Structure 1
Amino acid sequence: MSSPRLNVVEGGDPIRRQAAAWFARLRADDVTENERGQCRQWLDADARHRAAYERMERLWAGAGDHAAHPEIALRVRAQAPAAAATRQPPRRGRGRLLAWSGAAAALIAVAAIGWRLLQPPPAVPEQQYVTAVGESRTIALEDGSRMSLDTDTRVRVRYSADERRISLLRGRAFFRVAKQARPFLVRTEDGSVRAVGTEFEVYRRDGEIEVALIEGRVLLLAAASGDAVPVGLAMLAPGQKASFGQRKPLRMIDAGHAALPAWLSGKLAFDDQALSAAVGEFNRYSRRAIVLRDPALARIRVSGVFRSDDPHAFVEALQTLYPVQVSDAPGGELVLSERR
């Protein structure tokens, strides 16, 4: 069986170091009554002393199997002299190292130099989040990151000690990533995006993913099967956008500025977009579909900002600006045809 993973985090509180030294000294075989009295005086001198000492007792009680962890043993051998020097018992004990035994040595030597022993991060069960058609929501993740889901989106979230992984199964999401050493990975079947602390959008559609970076940097990764290591494709800078997929080459666009996606505020923004693509976007937000009856209409280019929950305003603008007429189909669809 492999050893449990141990995380040790440095700290520098002198009271904590003194508490650790006294805690260890009182458990040594040669501790004297005079030293016990000095410890009581130290505890009574300041409420912070007693609180730090009680914390050391709780730390020791909860150390469990980690007290004898080989990583701790290495730190004990390297740091025991420093630990002994930080304590304040009588002079006659200063010249020698404490004869700490086994697990006590492992815990106290580390605590005495200001390190905190933490249990391995608990396994976080995989969680799944879904939005219905026309719905959007923002989720606060356990590491402090925030994930905003667009309409008709499905994601799976899995955090481990080494990685924060989001599987985007369908739709579009915007991420505000809390800075941590653990990479933040957004995966799809068509490729992945890796970040540490940043803000970016990922949209999965038509066999590719589209990525827009607002802040920080992200690494684009090609799709990989099984345990294969994914290949890095490009690093994005703020204001850049990219799209790629298993069967689609990488395309990058420099927008010149970084702006939050319009859909976060309930809007859809089009900049010289093909009408067919704009209609496809609106249809993601409503169960009453817009249908292009005449193929020639697909070539119309549209620009503007529209409310995502108001397809009627969109088709009315089309009628005003283009040779388009609108009719209602028996099934409730809004049918666009070329005006003769």
Structure 2
Amino acid sequence: MLTLSAAGVWILQSRNTYATGIAETRQITLPDGTRVHLDAQTSLHYEATGSGRTVHLRHGAAVFQVAPHPTPFKVAADTWSVRDIGTTFQVLLRHDAPHGTVEVGVAEGEVELTSERHPATPPVRLSAGEETTWEDGSDRPSDKTQTASPGDFATWRDGRLRYRNRPLSQVLADLQRHQKDRLVLLDPELGRLTVTGTLSTRDLKQAYTALEQILPLRFAVQGSGEVQVLRR
């Protein structure tokens, strides 16, 4: 069933499929009792069999607080699989990178990350406070990093996006999920610049200003509502 909410965002909820619209975050409870917090423009599908529970993350980001159950729980995100070992964790799937990217962070407990495209790579175990990124073009994920504090986990739930040396192209893709106006990067070279800091999704003008202060660029709003990102 497809319906349009009063806020003007599309919500799909049919046979254990859930999705959020632009600038919408949402909390749901899966049939097994697992609590999930979906970021803007996120879609996932849940299925359970006698051998286990699987969430298929199609795009976007979600935090999983996994309910105890006799069968294992995992998140399948494109070619990657994240197996729960009693935990609260986040999975973010990006399609904007040339090869696709998954980002995984753990707040409590542990997870194991694998890639079916690289079966020879041993499972990567992440513990509480650790996060990593795995690009599909690489045979292994980046080195694990430690979050500065528990408050830095999945900050989008509080209207903040936190970055550490992230390409501007990924930052703009994240901001795009939180606004209707189309962001257009006119100079692809700018997309390779890196961003470190925290941006607001509840005050996008403030986010633009912050980026203009640290990078040689400017945001120009067009009459059509399109927002162009130009070199300054």
Q: Do they superpose with TM above 0.5?
A: yes
Map 1:152-167 onto structure 2 (within 5 A).
152-167=41-56
Gap runs ≥5 in structure 1: 1-124
Residue 184 to residue 315, structure 1, CA distance change in 2 (3 Å): same
Letter aligned with residue 255 of structure 1: T
Letter aligned with residue 235 of structure 1: R
Residue 179 to residue 302, structure 1, CA distance change in 2 (3 Å): same
Equivalent position of 2:156 in the other structure:
263
Q: How far is 1:254 from its partner?
A: 2.8
Q: How far is 1:126 from its partner?
A: 4.4
Q: Which moved more, 1:200-209 or 1:292-301?
A: 292-301
Which has the larger Rg? 1
Is 1:325 matched with 2:218? Answer: yes
User: CA separation in 1, counterparts of 2:164 and 2:61?
Assistant: 19
User: CA separation in 1, counterparts of 2:120 and 2:37?
Assistant: 26
Q: How far is 1:172 from its partner?
A: 1.1
User: CA separation in 2, counterparts of 1:202 and 1:161?
Assistant: 24
Letter aligned with residue 216 of structure 1: G
Letter aligned with residue 140 of structure 1: T
Is 1:335 matched with 2:228? Answer: yes
2:86 to 185, 197, 212: 197
Map 1:61-72 onto structure 2 (within 5 A).
none
Question: Percent of aligned positions with the same letter in both sequences?
Answer: 28
Check whether the contact 2:121–2:139 (CA below 8 A) recurs between aligned residues.
no
Is 1:250 matched with 2:140? Answer: yes
Q: Which has the higher strand share?
A: 2
1:131 to 20, 31, 44: 20
Q: How far is 1:131 from its partner?
A: 0.6
Check whether the contact 1:148–1:175 (CA below 8 A) recurs between aligned residues.
yes
CA deviation vs aligned residue, 1:218-263 (integer Å, no higher than 9, x gap): 1223227xxxx99852222222223336543221333234632111
Equivalent position of 2:124 in the other structure:
234
CA deviation vs aligned residue, 1:253-286 (integer Å, no higher than 9, x gap): 3323463211111211122333222112111211
What TM-score comes out, normalization by structure 2 length? Answer: 0.79
Gap runs ≥5 in structure 2: 1-13
- State how many pairs are aligned: 211
Equivalent position of 2:9 in the other structure:
none
Check whether the contact 2:40–2:177 (CA below 8 A) recurs between aligned residues.
yes
Q: Secondary structure at the match of 1:317?
A: helix
CA deviation vs aligned residue, 1:46-78 (integer Å, no higher than 9, x gap): xxxxxxxxxxxxxxxxxxxxxxxxxxxxxxxxx
Q: How far is 1:318 from its partner?
A: 3.1
Check whether the contact 2:19–2:41 (CA below 8 A) recurs between aligned residues.
yes
**Pairwise CA RMSD of aligned residues?**
2.6
Q: How far is 1:153 from its partner?
A: 0.9
Check whether the contact 2:132–2:145 (CA below 8 A) recurs between aligned residues.
no
Letter aligned with residue 142 of structure 1: P
Q: How far is 1:154 from its partner?
A: 0.8
